[in-house]
Amino acid sequence: MSEMHRVEFGVYLPQLQSDFETIRDRVQLADRLGFDTAWFYDHLYPPHLPDVPGFDGWTLVSALAVLTEQIRLGQLVLCNGFRHPGVLAKMAITLDVISGGRLELGLGSGSYLEEFAEFGLPSSDIATRSDQLGEACEVIKLLCTQKRSTYEGQHYQLHDAPTALFPVQKPYPRIVIGGGGERRTLPLVARHADVWNCPTYSLGDVTQKIDAMRRACEAIDRDPESLVYGQQAVVVLLESEQDRDRELEIAGRRFGGDGWGLDAGGFVGTSAQVVDQIREKVELGFTQFALFFHDRGESKTLEQFARDVAPAFR
């Protein structure tokens, strides 16, 4: 475990099949309980669930920024193809100022291409989307730090673009790139990100992904320990062992697919058991956790985690 980074716990609240008041109340409770981060998705509708209502992630975080005090807010991850990076930079600077420096800037190349076609958005192959994401990171960093920015990329160009408003966080909000692709995504993380977020679908190969992430850093002479290693995971937190079968059945309905990694890397058990399971991941080097609570963050579960799990890592 690196001594450079403190352990952070965040609640990932997929913003579907819920009203705004419920989401607001759960994020405000997480804020009061001392959770470090709250996360949302960035899609035009819940993936594979076109008839289920869901909120836009950026608008939701913007609203929550003025309704919370300490918790950091972001998306895992913003789809680069939805917004020109020059526009996103302005949005990020504004939200960082509004929130008092609490924006987590999650970025990705886009993982659900059906919505591109359905909404008439341009899309391209993974190699091109990866190149675009790399350029977008460079554009955003320029606009967050320079009064005038010029950039000549293959996909994006700036021509003496002015910035007069700057983010609270210096030099820019922490950039989080999510993914497990060893050929393209991890090298992008090594070159551009402050945080790597290992998604649930990569938890079955987590040690392999860590090794690949470290190699990607070393290939460009970056200290692997300068990167924050984060991961997503489903949590089934039990009040007692007697609850296991019932709660696992609920978790299986909501997070049972292979992509959710419940069996491969979920945290399942009583508070003491979950502490031990998380400690194993901390010993591997992970210090940021974005947690899908199987009951979607009901108050009793958030309170139990904050009372009985998080203090073991403070």
Q: What DSSP element (H or E) covers 217?
A: helix 206-219
For residue range 125-138, what is the model confidence (pLDDT) as tens digits? 999 999 999 999 99
292 neighbors 232 (Cβ within 8 angstroms): yes
Instruction: Return the pLDDT at 2.
Output: 47
Contact by Cβ (8 Å): 147, 76: no
Q: How many Å separate Cα 80 from the centre of its chain?
A: 14
Compute how many other C-beta atoms are within 10 angstroms of the C-beta atom of residue 48: 9
User: Tell me, what's the pLDDT at 3?
Assistant: 55
CATH number of the structural domain 8-313: 3.20.20.30
DSSP H helices, 173-243, are 185-192, 206-219
Is 30:296 a contact under the CB 8 Å cutoff?
no
Below-50 pLDDT ranges, the chain: 1-2
What pLDDT sits at residue 258? 85
